[in-house]
Amino acid sequence: MRILIASPIFPATIEKLQEEHDVVCAFNAKREELKDLIRDRQILTFRSGVSITADVMACSPDLKLLIRAGSGIDNLDEDLVHGRGIQLVRIPEPGAKAVAEMSFALMLALARNLLQADRLLRQGKWAKHELTGYLLTGKTLGIVGVGNIGSRVGRLGAAWGMEVIGYDKVVSPAMVADLKEKGIRLSTFDEVLYRSDVLSIHVPLCESTRYLFNAETLAGMKRGAFLINLARGGVVDERALCHELREGGRLRGAALDVHEEEGDGKMSPLAKLPNVILTPHIGAGTIDSQREIGKRIMQIIASFSAKQELVRSQARIQAA
């Protein structure tokens, strides 16, 4: 098979694919380069950070399979994919484990002032009696978006002894029952805002969620709460969040792994605030998760390749 890998994936996976297929790697390439490299490709593998637009895919008449090595597809033109009948396979589960754990890592770092403690100690200041923090046990964890990732975060929160409430735009009786078993009670968006001591965001980026957290919604959050965003940068209005943290006095702190502007040289307006943790979109980036994603990619390509060979064999038999 002719494969284009447009984003970094587990190195051992690339090596094994190269042994059996024609593989081109173009990590985070610009649009014009992608349009050139994709021309004869049958399979495209990608993650976030690269835009798979309609004009890029239009350059590849042989493109039959897209593999999203993760979950979000806000960087993909879905209309063209469906219109051309291109198969799209997402691999959300491995990254969901890592993102859920990252959410808890950020909660703990915020609640216990870990970055400030580390920074002061490196400066030779023993601030044992100056630094304080908060327990997560007994607090209310709010989750906006209780899908694959959000429900995992909620289950961790319940195990930690937190009261977990969640909101999702689309729910069903089966979903309500499943979440209840995991210790998550579904509620309204407004209740999640004003009752949560820690609020963790896990929604896809689309028109209905862009700037879902703006000046108005941030003002509706519980005083002293922490906000965590591991969804997409555009879900949170960073300038509104910056203003709230600087002057509003309602939020105690925030942690963001995703940003409105991402990449080298991009500076968040939140960068100078001491009560904010910023990380470079590494939520799903554990060795374990990426290795598991790599195995799934090989399985998907092997299955697709076998089906393509079967179609060719049947065509040869009919022609004979």
Two structure tokens written together for 220: 């509706």
Order of strands across the sheet with 184-186? Answer: 184-186, 163-167, 140-144, 198-201, 225-229, 251-256, 276-278
Regarding pTM above 0.95, the answer is: no
Superfamily of domain 96-278: NAD(P)-binding Rossmann-like Domain (3.40.50.720)
Q: With a cut of 90, say whether residue 185 has pLDDT above it.
A: yes
Asked whether residue 66 carries a pLDDT value surpassing 80, the answer given is yes
How distant is the alpha carbon of residue 159 from its chain centre?
A: 23
Q: How far apart are CA 260 and CA 237, in angstroms?
A: 8
Would you please indicate which residues are annotated as catalytic (active-site) residues? 232, 262, 281
**pLDDT reading at 48 higher than 90:** no
79, amino acid identity: D
Chain position carrying tokens 């806000």: 74
Q: Are strands 65-68 and 22-25 parallel, antiparallel or unpaired?
A: unpaired
> Would 2-90+289-319 and 96-278 be classified into the same CATH topology?
yes
Of the pLDDT bands very low, low, confident and very high (cuts 50, 70, 90), residue 248 is confident
Q: How far apart are CA 301 and CA 66, in angstroms?
A: 10
In this prediction, residue 312 carries a pLDDT of 67
pLDDT for 237 equals 97
Query: What pLDDT is attached to residue 28?
Result: 78
The sign of the torsion formed by the CA atoms of 308, 313, 314, 320 equals: positive
Asked if pLDDT for residue 183 goes beyond 70, the answer is: yes
Q: What three-state secondary structure class fits 46?
A: strand
Structure tokens at 37: 């490299």
pLDDT tens digits, one per residue of 270-314: 999 999 999 999 999 999 999 999 999 999 999 999 988 776 666
Cα separation, 64 vs 142, whole angstroms: 40
Please tell me the predicted confidence (pLDDT) of residue 320: 59
User: Could you tell me if 142 and 165 are in contact, meaning their C-beta atoms sit under 8 angstroms apart?
Assistant: yes
126-182 residue pLDDT tens: 999 999 999 999 999 999 999 999 999 999 999 999 999 999 998 889 999 999 999
Q: What is the pLDDT of residues 90-139, one digit of tens each?
A: 999 999 999 999 999 999 999 999 999 999 999 999 999 999 999 999 99
- Residue 64, phi then psi, degrees to nearest 5: -125, -20
Nearest Cα to 226, choosing from 202, 248, 244, 251?
A: 251
Cα distance between residue 257 and residue 287, in whole Å: 17
State residue 27's pLDDT score. 92
Q: Is the pLDDT of residue 49 over 80?
A: yes
Cα 318 to Cα 296, 307, 312, 315: the distances in Å are 33, 17, 10, 5
pLDDT, tens digit, 9 for 90 and up, residues 7-20: 999 999 999 999 99
Instruction: Please give the Cα distance from 36 to 93 (Å, whole number).
Output: 32
Give how far Cα 234 sits from Cα of 17, 212, 261, Å: 34, 8, 9
Distance CA 112, CA 117 (A): 9
Q: What pLDDT is recorded for position 72?
A: 85
DSSP label at residue 30: -
Contacts of 247 (CB under 8 A, 6+ apart): none
Domain spans, the chain: 2-90+289-319, 96-278
Q: Pairing between strand 43-46 and 2-5?
A: parallel
Dihedral through CA 255, CA 256, CA 260, CA 262, nearest 10? 130
Please give the Cα distance from 209 to 230 (Å, whole number). 14
Name the CATH superfamily, with its identifier, for domain 2-90+289-319: NAD(P)-binding Rossmann-like Domain (3.40.50.720)
